[in-house]
Amino acid sequence: MAIDPEKNTSTRSSAVAAFNERIRNKTARVGIVGLGYVGLPIALLFSAKGIEATGFDIDPLKVATLRQGRSYIKHIPEADIAGALAHRRFDATTDFSLLREVDAIIICVPTPLDDHREPDLTYIRSTAESIAANLRPSQLVVLESTTYPGTTEEVVLPILEKSGLRCPIAPYTVENSEAVGNTPFEPDFFLAFSPEREDPGNPNFRTHQIPKVVGGVNAPSAMATQALYQAAFDKTVLVSSSRAAEMTKLLENIYRSVNIALVNELKLLCQRMGLDIWEIIGAAKTKPFGFSAFYPGPGLGGHCIPIDPFYLTWKAREYEFPTRFIELAGEINTSMPHHVVERLAGALNERNKCLHGSRILVLGVSYKKDIDDLRESPSLRIIKLIQDGGAVVDYNDPYFERLHKMRQYDFGLESVPLTEESLARYDAVVIATDHSSYDYEFIGRHAQLIIDTRNAMGRLNQYREKIVQA
């Protein structure tokens, strides 16, 4: 629904009307802080819709790469970047003082867990400090980084108000896709939360096709944010607060985490019972109602599902509410790499070999198939556990020529080629990520032993004596 400032008391202020008009006539400028898997697609989307976008990042290499029209994310075409640069609708910079020149600022920075599995808001806080130093009246600030309910109001807002500008928290309701409510006074700037919903490598949904959930700290902020995203996304979904928007994102990811944990646990049971969990899921999903298929694997990866549920369990302690269901799902999912290595050791033992001293090849290090994303990949944990067991480990992944130093891991490994000779010299091959580019029939023909965590070899029955499901 298009926004008409004259129909709603919450949007009659000249500031909101002027902001909405700049969005409509495409004279507004958008700044995106954090040019990763979330921020870069959004920057390019606004550019493609005719709205000038400036990307901000602390990494000068990323900025230099983008300014040359090149991409460091494989599923983002360089043609999109070069085209946006050519039309002068996109630029990238490390100069955060330029934030004062944009009309809307979208925050897309990481929100990891610390060593105690508690939220680490370092990047959000530092970004908010940079914005506060450059904040000017009538700017819109939107947090997209996944976090616990209350972060926008309790963390970001107080930092931004150090600028001397005010944005009062005020309740509102949603009526006919519009925010209706009274704000104590006209806000000096606008603040909202809108969860990112990127799914890297998913060919079925482009960024603009995924409905954009929006929740403001007050009605004017909600309406300004909705106007911003209506200019780029096919659909916006307005909710009654920034907290509701924050919880929406957590619900989405916790739903997936719990269901994946369920099928992972059932996989372990089915292995003991001599049943094929993949066959069972395939049969169950033929039911046209009441069932959604989730699939087991070697553990959870990506930034969202392994991390986001723990943001809510941490916040729930403030309310003395135990989130046992969520925590149990987390325990099951984080234990899966250990299960894979146990299956590997057991399979070697049945062949009169031990893990210690064996040569193991891990296929796939990205957290899911056909993408170049290592974040929280269970493959990395599997490699570490195999090394801890005394084996010599190599890997192959067409998306990663080498493994760079990471926060938790520093393997110093380079991807080895997949040849008949190389496959034959490993005592076992672990399929951790089922990239489409792998020739599984070739792997089945030449590998001595295959630990399959993704059912990649499921239809190759001629090699079943070599295959161990994990």
In Å, what is the CA distance from 467 to each residue of 181, 282, 346, 367, 460?
A: 62, 20, 13, 22, 9
Which one from 167, 270, 304, 354 is the annotated catalytic residue? 304
In angstroms, the first-to-last Cα distance of the chain is 49
Asked if residues 109 and 127 have their Cβ atoms less than 8 Å apart, the reply is: yes
* Those residues with Cβ within 8 angstroms of residue 50's Cβ, 6 or more apart along the chain or in another chain: 26, 89
User: CA–CA separation, 94 vs 72, rounded Å?
Assistant: 17
Whose structure tokens read 């997936």?
256
Asked if residues 142 and 134 have their Cβ atoms less than 8 Å apart, the reply is: no
Look up residue 103 and give its amino acid: D
Query: For every residue of the chain, which 3-state class applies, written as one string?
Result: CCCCHHHCHHHCCHHHHHHHHHHHCCCCEEEEECCCCCHHHHHHHHHHCCCEEEEECCCHHHHHHHHCCCCCCCCCCHHHHHHHHHCCCEEEECCHHHHHHCCEEEECCCCCECCCCCECCHHHHHHHHHHHCCCCCCCEEEECCCCCCCHHHHHHHHHHHHHCCCCCCCCCEEECCEEECCCCCCCCCEEEECCCCCCCCCCCCCHHHCCEEEEECCHHHHHHHHHHHHCCCCCEEECCCHHHHHHHHHHHHHHHHHHHHHHHHHHHHHHHHCCCHHHHHHHHCCCCCCCCCCCCCCCCCCCCCCCHHHHHHHHHHHHCCCCHHHHHHHHHHHHHHHHHHHHHHHHHHHCCCCCCCCEEEEECCCCCCCCCCCCCCHHHHHHHHHHHCCCEEEEECCCCCECCCCCCCCCCCECCCCCHHHHHCCCEEEECCCCCCCCHHHHHHHCCCEEECCCCCCCCHHHCCCEEEC
CA angle 171, 176, 181 (to 5 degrees): 20
Look up residue 213 and give its amino acid: V
List the structure tokens of 194: 């809108």
Annotated catalytic residue 304: yes
List the structure tokens of 463: 């090699």
Residues designated catalytic = 304
